[in-house]
């Protein structure tokens, strides 16, 4: 009986992944209100019973998708400093910046976020999350007393979100590695000697 659990888990994961993909694909062509459960299961090549095993409503499916994206966003944002107690901007490597890999892996969600009003609330959630991560995760060890950290966090969050928006609108004309390099260079402007302490070990 125990040996069957991994295969059941794989089937559940596969079914949920198919439903998520199907909903997002439908959202590229139809308003969320006009998408039916039948549309979703037909696109996923599943039956309605499978849908209702996992979700009561299509809204729950969308919430599950966005929760996955937020979890991955947080992990990707933290990647450059996850294993460091102290780090400085000058020695940071662009290859450690994973947020654009995250955006590319979730390209449909970010395309909907940027090009439609369907995910307007989610856009605000992304912004607030980026701001909170900057405020909570790191502490500048030699802060400029003239700079309001909360306003700086707003500036940083808007800068990252702005780059993501431009990248999506350009139909991802640049590679994720190029976007990471550019973000790092922008961050280094006039801030080459800043040193930060990671707060993650204190969480």
Spell out, as residue ranges, where the chain has pLDDT lower than 70. 1-8, 87, 141-142, 190-197, 201-203
Verify that 84 and 42 share a domain, yes or no.
Answer: no
Residue 79's domain spans which residues? 65-202
In this structure, are 134 and 157 located in the same domain?
Answer: yes
Among 10, 36, 56, residue at a domain's last position = 56
Please answer whether residues 118 and 32 qualify as being in contact, where contact means their C-beta atoms are separated by less than 8 angstroms.
yes
What is the C-alpha to C-alpha distance for residues 36 and 74, in angstroms, rounded to an integer?
31
Q: Which of 17, 29, 119 is nearest to 68 (CA)?
A: 17
For the entire predicted model, the pTM comes to 0.86
Whole-angstrom Cα distance, residue 70 to residue 50? 25
Burial class (CB in 10 A: 0-12, 13-18, 19+), 13: exposed
Give yes or no: residues 12 and 107 share one domain. no
Domain end point (choices 13, 33, 56): 56
Q: How many domains does the chain have?
A: 2
Confidence at residue 62, expressed as pLDDT on a 0 to 100 scale: 98
What's the mean per-residue pLDDT of the chain? 89
d(CA 159, CA 187): 10
User: Are 44 and 111 in the same domain?
Assistant: no
């Amino acid at each position: 009986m125990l040996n069957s659990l991994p295969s059941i888990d794989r089937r559940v994961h596969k079914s949920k992944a198919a439903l998520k993909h199907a909903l997002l694909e439908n959202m590229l062509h139809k308003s969320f209100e006009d998408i039916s459960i039948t549309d979703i299961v037909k696109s996923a090549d599943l039956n309605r019973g499978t849908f209702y095993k996992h979700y009561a409503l299509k809204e729950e499916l969308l919430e599950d998708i966005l929760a996955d994206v937020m979890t991955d966003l947080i992990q990707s944002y933290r990647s450059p400093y996850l294993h460091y107690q102290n780090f400085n901007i000058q020695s940071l490597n662009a290859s450690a910046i994973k947020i654009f890999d995250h955006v590319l892996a979730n390209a449909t969600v970010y395309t909907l976020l940027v090009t439609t009003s369907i995910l307007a609330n989610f856009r605000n959630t992304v912004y607030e999350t980026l701001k909170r991560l900057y405020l909570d995760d790191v502490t500048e060890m030699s802060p400029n007393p003239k700079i309001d950290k909360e306003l700086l966090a707003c500036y940083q969050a808007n800068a990252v979100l702005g780059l993501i928006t431009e990248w999506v609108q350009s139909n991802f004309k640049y590679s994720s590695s190029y976007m990471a390099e550019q973000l790092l260079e922008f961050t280094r402007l006039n801030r080459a000697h800043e040193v930060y302490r990671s707060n993650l070990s204190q969480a």
